[in-house]
Amino acid sequence: MSRPELEAYWLPFTSNRYFKQHPKLVVSAKGAYYRTEDGRELFDCLSGMWCCPLGHAHPKIVEALARQAETLDYSPAFQVGNSATFRLAERIAGMAPAGLDHVFFANSGSEAVDTALKIALAYHRVRGDAGRFRLIGRERAYHGVGFGGISVGGMVANRKAFASAMLPGVDHLPHTWNLSAMAFSRGQPTWGAHLADELERLVALHDASTIAAVIVEPVQGSTGVLVPPLGYLERLREICTRHGILLIFDEVITGFGRLGANFGAQRLGVVPDMIAFAKGVTNGVIPMGGVIVRQDIYEAFLHAQIPEYAVELFHGYTYSGHPIAASVGLAALDIYQQEGLFEQALALEPVLEAAVHSLKGEPGVLDVRNFGLAAGIDLEPFPGQPGRRAFKVFEYGFEHDQLFRFTADTIALGPPFISTPAELERMIEQLRVAIRTVKPDRSRSMG
């Protein structure tokens, strides 16, 4: 594409000035690889943006999408239904921990999070407990970009420009990463369960009767794969239960097999009151997100003192439960199950773990973490140029057949579940070369 053709599009979360000088374009994708404009193949090190664990162009998904488009391409989301959406809700509820059995559909992780927060507030209100309006998030959290999500989120760059419009009554727990206590941990760190007690401090400060919900990612993904300390989520669960506070897991990344189980809740043995999901539910082929809620939360709305024909929850989207997304979701869940891909992700975990931890000792590698089929590698920033070192690793990868993902000076890896052990090892060897090759220089430009 020529420069003028690139002009109109404002890319999200991207350095537009730099991109338009140095465009990176992919033209097609198959399996675990993208093809670039100049005909090279790039290994998909983050499964798209954590959303394509089955790889690309899976024939059963392509077929489901085409068939649904021909049969029923859209049906109104309010007061009308279609069978694919009901079937998908039933399937998802069946995969969730026992007791979490109703599904509200949205179209992205951001919408899923805002939906979960709104359900939490409305649930307390419908039960006559409207004083519970506070929402507790966590430092370094990513919960998407809606006003709810950025308010409970904890990544400063996503918040500071919008500080004037944050939700009121939000507080944050500390994040759980601590270099000196857990550097180069494999799986869950043994240090840090006590950080959950910070919730007791917030309860003492605000009083439990004002707190509606706590939202956490079981593993913090976007901020660079921060794995929860052993016992931490259990303690959060216990404190929430004791104080009547809802616990929401944002499983937009960890749901649908990334941790080698249906949901992180199951891998980690902690059951929240709601799970927000997106991404892997449709293998990223078409946007979809949603919230799985505990039965009694759903039922509280049905028992409200309102006429039977009245709407119970004033919330929803034009594309909630879109039939094409639902059909694609059903196909994706069939494939995960029939091909045993969550088990495969679990089986690949030790391969990724061994490979990624071999990066310890490479120049500037400060920390390596892993859990499920996910890993984070922290690089020491170039002096005075935060984020540039990882950006250059990403650029090196793009030129050398690996589509790495970086955030600040962290490289995040979340390869497709269909990857072979050899592909994972090659990904790490290429990353090693990139880390060794990328050197600081005095130029102020990105490249």
Question: Residue 320 interacts with ligand PXG (CB under 6 A)?
Answer: no
**What is the 3-state secondary structure of 98-147?**
CCEEEEEEECCHHHHHHHHHHHHHHHHHHCCCCCCCEEEEECCCCCCCCH
Measured from the CB atom, is 110 or 327 closer to ligand PXG? 110
Measured from the CB atom, is 68 or 115 closer to ligand PXG? 115
Among 75-83, 363-371, 383-391, 404-412, which window interacts with ligand PXG (CB under 6 A)?
A: 404-412
Instruction: Quote the distance between the C-alpha of residue 134 and its chain's center.
Output: 23
Question: Residue 281 interacts with ligand PXG (CB under 6 A)?
Answer: no
Q: How far apart are CA 293 and CA 102, in angstroms?
A: 5
Q: Measured at CB, which residue is nearest to ligand PXG? A: 109
CA atoms within 13 A on the CB side of 158: 24
Interface residue with ligand PXG, options 250, 349, 367, 409 (CB under 6 A): 250
Among 109-117, 228-236, 257-265, 314-322, which window interacts with ligand PXG (CB under 6 A)?
A: 109-117
Question: Residue 222 interacts with ligand PXG (CB under 6 A)?
Answer: yes
User: Bridge partners of 248?
Assistant: 215, 274
Among 103-111, 205-213, 339-347, 388-396, which window interacts with ligand PXG (CB under 6 A)?
A: 103-111
Among 139-147, 161-169, 190-198, 315-323, which window interacts with ligand PXG (CB under 6 A)?
A: 139-147
In the region spanning residues 337 to 396, those forming contacts with ligand PXG, defined by CB under 6 A, are: none
Interface residue with ligand PXG, options 33, 34, 43, 50 (CB under 6 A): 50
Question: Residue 217 interacts with ligand PXG (CB under 6 A)?
Answer: yes
Q: How far apart are CA 259 and CA 252, in angstroms?
A: 12
Question: Residue 330 interacts with ligand PXG (CB under 6 A)?
Answer: no
Contact between 211 and 132 (Cβ < 8 Å): yes
Distances (CA, A) of 72 to 79, 82, 125, 286: 17, 9, 37, 16
User: Bridge partners of 102?
Assistant: 293
Interface residue with ligand PXG, options 96, 253, 331, 368 (CB under 6 A): 253
Q: For residue 318, count other CB atoms closer than 10 A to its CB.
A: 10
The H or E element spanning position 180 is helix 179-182
Q: Contact positions toward ligand PXG, by CB under 6 A?
A: 49-50, 108-110, 113, 142-144, 217, 221-222, 250, 252-253, 278, 405, 407, 412
